[in-house]
Amino acid sequence: MRCSRNWLCRLVGHFSPITPVLIFPSLIILGSLQVAFADFVSPLIVSNYNPMAAIHGLPHIGDAEVLPRGSVATHLVFDVSSHYAGDKNAHESILLDGETDRATLLYRQGLSRGIQMSVVVPYIKHHGGGLDSFINNWHETFGMPQGGRDRVKNNQFRYFYSRDAQTRFDLQNPGSGLGDIRVHAAWQVEKSASEASALEVSVKLPTGDSAKLNGSGAMDVAMWFKKESQQTFFGLRGGSFYSIGGLYVGKGDVLSDIVRQFVGFGGLGAGVYLGDKVLFISQLDINTPFYSSDLVELGSHAVQLTLGGSIVLSPRGRINLGVAEDLVIDASPDVTFHVDVEWQF
């Protein structure tokens, strides 16, 4: 099916050119509105899945409302990210051509008043995929730059990087396996009918195979503050959220000589309920560079936009959907499709 006939492609393609113009004023307007409802709007569980960033402990931000003691929430998350980025300079050359499928189990439990523990277990597959034709047609239809995609065969797989004429990694065979498991602890800082804030810490364990780029081979530690506020938007209930934090990156097996040991990250966004069952969310996620490099794929800030929302199935269950794209071209995946089945017990 051509992109021009696909509703999802048309929707994302329509927003892509105008997003930088509209997103910031929209969030400022939402931030100035008055509190009205008690349902919090939380960020979608997405991240920067650039293969060179995703091996490190960049966390999902998560809800600012900590679960009560004994309560449990589970998320089954499925993300498909398409990559095509190639660049070189006098000292470096990189090619990221492939697709990443990521299935993640997220388990959260309230331990005591104001304290929550979480475990994040990802399973990752790097391969040639099947999205290239779809994305090429999408770019062509909306006059967006191809970035070299249209000059290579579709659905190839190769992750390659060289520095000073030495090959640092060269993956040409698809592979899959367990990723790096993360353990989280969150503390409720503030909770009222209209606002919630929390401080969270995560530790990433080196359980993934760094040779397959399923992990970094090192332990990383992140800490961040997050806040959610209830608001109205043209008379409709909704809310906004933001976060800011830092990540200490351990020196593992992948480009340890150029990895930056401190990475800043954060995000902001807003959402509005369209009736009782449908929530629309727009969010930005930002991180500073992971590597000391002049290549965008390694050494640039990343800004990723996600448009999506939630379909409420019951008071305890919902499906969260999203499409993420790179506002800084090549610093994060060209596109990530996100599905999250959430349930609370």
Residues 269-306 have pLDDT tens digits of: 999 999 889 999 999 999 999 999 999 999 999 999 99
Residue 325 has pLDDT above 60, yes or no: yes
- Domains of the chain are 3-344 (2.40.160.40)
Q: What is the pLDDT of residue 136?
A: 58
The CB density around residue 170, as the number of other CB atoms within 10 Å, is 11
Q: What is the pLDDT of residue 174?
A: 95
**107-111 mean pLDDT:** 97
Give residues with Cβ within 8 angstroms of 255, minimum separation 6.
52, 161, 168, 291, 298
In whole angstroms, what is the distance from residue 198 CA to residue 66 CA? Answer: 7
In whole angstroms, what is the distance from residue 307 CA to residue 321 CA? Answer: 8
Q: What is the pLDDT of residue 79?
A: 98
Q: Model-level pTM? A: 0.84
Residue 309 has pLDDT above 70, yes or no: yes
Q: What is the pLDDT of residue 9?
A: 39
**Three-state secondary structure string covering the chain:** CCHHHCHHHHHHHHHHHHHHHHHHHHHHHHHCCCCCCCCCCCCCCCCCCCHHHHCCCCCCCCCCCCCCECCEEEEEEEEEEEEEEEEECCCEEEEEEEEEEEEEEEEEEEEECCEEEEEEEEEEEEECCCCHHHHHHHHHHCCCCCCCHHHCCCCCCEEEEEECCEEEEEECCCEEEECCCEEEEEEEEEECCCEEEEEEEEEECCCCCHHHCCCCCCCEEEEEEEEEEEEEECCEEEEEEEEEEEEECCCCCCCCCCECCEEEEEEEEEEEECCCCEEEEEEEEEECCCECCCCHHHHCCEEEEEEEEEEECCCCEEEEEEEEEECCCCCCCCEEEEEEEEEEC
The CB density around residue 75, as the number of other CB atoms within 10 Å, is 19
pLDDT band at 37 (very low <50, low <70, confident <90, very high): very low
**3-25 mean pLDDT:** 37
Kindly report, residue by residue over 120-150, the tens digit of the pLDDT: 999 999 999 776 666 756 555 555 554 565 5
pLDDT band at 152 (very low <50, low <70, confident <90, very high): low
Q: What are phi and psi of 276, to 5 degrees?
A: -90, -15
What sign for the dihedral angle of Cα 99, 100, 103, 108?
Answer: negative
Residue 308 has pLDDT above 60, yes or no: yes
Kindly report, residue by residue over 208-256, the tens digit of the pLDDT: 999 999 999 999 999 999 999 999 998 899 999 999 999 999 999 999 9
Q: What is the pLDDT of residue 145?
A: 56
Residue 33 has pLDDT above 50, yes or no: no
Q: What is the pLDDT of residue 34?
A: 34
Kindly report, residue by residue over 51-93, the tens digit of the pLDDT: 999 999 999 999 999 999 999 999 999 999 999 999 999 999 9
Q: What is the pLDDT of residue 129?
A: 78
In whole angstroms, what is the distance from residue 126 CA to residue 176 CA? Answer: 6
Kindly report, residue by residue over 187-206, the tens digit of the pLDDT: 999 999 999 999 999 999 99
Q: What is the pLDDT of residue 266?
A: 98
pLDDT band at 28 (very low <50, low <70, confident <90, very high): very low
Q: What is the pLDDT of residue 142?
A: 53
Structure tokens at 102: 């990521």
Structure-token match 């307007």, residue found: 29
Tell which residue, 339, 338, 332, has the closest CA to residue 58. 332
**Three-state secondary structure string covering 115-159:** EEEEEEEEEEEEECCCCHHHHHHHHHHCCCCCCCHHHCCCCCCEE
Q: What is the pLDDT of residue 225?
A: 98
